[in-house]
Every structure is written in C-alpha cells, then in structure tokens.
Structure 1
Amino acid sequence: MTLKKSLTHLNAAGEVAMVDVSDKAITHRQAIAAGQIRMKAETLEAILAGNSPKGDVITTAKLAGIMAAKQTAHLIPLCHPLPLQKIAVEITPDPALPGLQIQATITTTSQTGVEMEALTAVSIAALTLYDMAKALEKGMVIENIHLLAKTGGKSGDYQVGSRE
C-alpha cells in the first residue's frame, strides 16, 4: 500500500483544515459498509421473537443508522455535509454467528465520497442494537465494522479484498 506524501487535512501552515472540494467534479458516488454484533443464541432468538423489553430492536436500529448517516458531518470533524439521495440500512439475523449482520448503502451525487456516512450508519445501528438489547445480554460484541465498497470520485472504485 502506498501512502500519499502530504496530509489532506492540513493547510500550508500545518494547521488542521477542511479539504476544499469546490473544484472537484460532481459525480455519482456510493459506499457500502458492514459490521456485526455477536450475541448469545438466546438473545438473538428473543430479538427475533420481539421479546425485548425496549421494543422493536431491529427497526429502531435501522432508523438510528439512517438518522446517523444524515448527521455524519456533525459527528466527525472536517467531514463535509453532503446531500444524500439514498440511505439503506439492512440488518440480517445470522444464527451461525450468532448475532446480527449490519450493512449500510449510501448514495450521493456530490464532490466527495460517502464512506464516512456508510461507516457511521453501521456504527450507530450496532450501538443501537446493543442499547435496545442490553437488558437481555450485556456481553454482546460489536465487531468488524469496515468499508465493503465505494464507487465514484477521483480515487476510483474500491472493493474489499482488492488491491489499493
């Protein structure tokens, strides 16, 4: 992997600065991120049966992920606010884990990418799953949050497992 020689979030004086994207082309961009929350089989069964004291765990976590993607620029310093055309958060039971798989797909037509929005959506959905189900189990583990793919922009496309 080759690292860039200059840091993009520092200005000429070496001070922290937001990257100027005003000269970049507006293009269609998409990012897909994933993660998971591991839990006891009994906890997963209770969530799927709707037996959590806090209510509908999965729907609440999906909504939290969508809301989080829209707030990314408020949460991560130097992240650009973006017009998001699509935010999809999917949460799928995985009995083999056991637990829940989380995937977020974010789409924009803008001057910069949406990787951080996708990663934020997955992270907050995972935290919400934990919060909604912690009365059932406190030992759940949030793990493996990562970018699966991204398209668009000057740096080109990326897919997990590909050479960077």
Structure 2
Amino acid sequence: MSEFSHLDKTGKANMVNVVEKSITQRLAKARAVVYLPEEVLAQLNAGDIQTKKGSVFQIAIVAGIMAAKKTGDLIPLCHPLGMDNCNVDISINEANEVVIDCTAVITAKTGIEMEALVGASVAALTIYDMCKALSHDIVIKEVKLMEKKGGKRDFKRS
C-alpha cells in the first residue's frame, strides 16, 4: 500500500526529500472546465470575451502562468520550482464550455503536477472574476490532471 508522501514515519507533515532522486525532464498537463451561462456565452466575440479590462481569455492565460510560477508559495510543502516552460490554452468545446489546459515542463528532481493544476485553476478563477458582472451562474466544473511524464510513474487520462 502506498504511503502519503508528505508525512514522516510519525505522521508529522514534512516536505518530500528529493536529494536522492534523479534529475529528469518532467511534464504535467492539467485541465479546468468552466460552464458559462447563455448571457455570458453571448458575449463571445471571435473566440474571446472583450471587456473594459481587456481580453478575458488573454488575461486568464497570464494569470494561470503567473500562478503556476507561485505554486511553491501557495501550496504548503510544495518545492519552489523554476519551470522551464508553462503554457495555458483556452478553447470552447462542443458543449459550449470553456476548456483550460495548462502544461508545465521542468528538468528537475521533483514533479510539476501541482504547478499545472494551480495554473489551470487560477485561469478558471480569473474567467469567473472577469465575467461575474454578467452572471453569478458561472461554474468551475472540474480541475484534473490529464497527463504527467517523468519521475516514478507516467500517467495519461483517456
């Protein structure tokens, strides 16, 4: 049975010791899905929503990247990481939902899943923040890891 990686033998919280781990290239992709009600969807113009503050999706992309860079400050016991790359893509799916994909890459001794998850989450929250004047019926439906490569185990959600 697996053990929680952030607990020591006595059950006390601790940071995972990565001293003995190998440096490998690691990649993580996370996805957030946001439901926008009709009154917000009606504001979509050429695949984005324009506001007095600017392009909703472009600002969400920047917010997601900034948040991914700050993950070590936001999530207790996460290692502070200097990412090699972070990319946030936003699209509308066939169900008229906003799909946010955040991909983070690093060459390091520890994984980068939390950075991808934080990036996707904050991008979704930014869309909510920028569109809430139109409706409070916006729903961040899910945030999930889609893929990870490097480290002990690879993972890919179908």
Aligned to 1:91: 90
More strand per residue: 1 or 2? Answer: 2
Q: Is the 8 A contact 1:68 1:121 kept in 2?
A: yes
Contact 2:50 2:56 in 1 (8 A): no
Within 5 Å, give how 1:45-60 maps onto structure 2: 45-48=42-45, 50-60=49-59
Identity of aligned residues (%): 42
5 Å-filtered alignment, 1:6-21, equals 6-21=3-18
> What's 1:81 paired with?
80
Aligned 8 A contact 1:54 1:133 in 2: no
Structure 2 spans left out of the alignment, 5+ residues: none
Q: Which of 102, 108, 111 does residue 109 from structure 2 map onto?
A: 111
- What amino acid sits opposite 1:23 in the alignment? E
CA contact (8 A) 1:123 1:145 kept: yes
CA contact (8 A) 1:53 1:135 kept: no
CA–CA distance in structure 2, aligned partners of residues 99 and 26 of structure 1: 38
Distance (Å, rounded) in 1 between the aligned partners of 2:42 and 2:54: 14
Name the amino acid aligned to 2:132.
Answer: K
Q: Which runs of 5+ in 1 are unaligned?
A: none
Q: How does 1:11-160 map to 2 (within 5 A)?
A: 11-48=8-45, 50-94=49-93, 96-154=94-152, 156-160=153-157
Asked whether the 8 Å contact 1:55–1:132 carries over to 2, the reply is no
2:79 partner SS:
coil
Q: Quote the RMSD (CA, aligned, Å).
A: 1.5
- Provide, for residues 4-44 of structure 1, a one-character-per-residue CA deviation record: whole Å limited to 9, x for no partner: 0x332122332111010011000000000111110123312
Cα displacement string for residues 85-133 of structure 1 (whole angstroms, at most 9, x for unaligned residues): 1100001123x33231100000000001110000000000000000011
Corresponding residue SS for 1:84: coil
Contact 1:37-1:140 within 8 A present in 2 as well? yes
2: CA distance, partners of 1:7 / 1:36: 28
Work out whether residues 27 and 111 of structure 1, in 8 Å CA contact, stay in contact via their aligned partners in 2. Answer: yes
- TM-score (normalizing by structure 2): 0.92
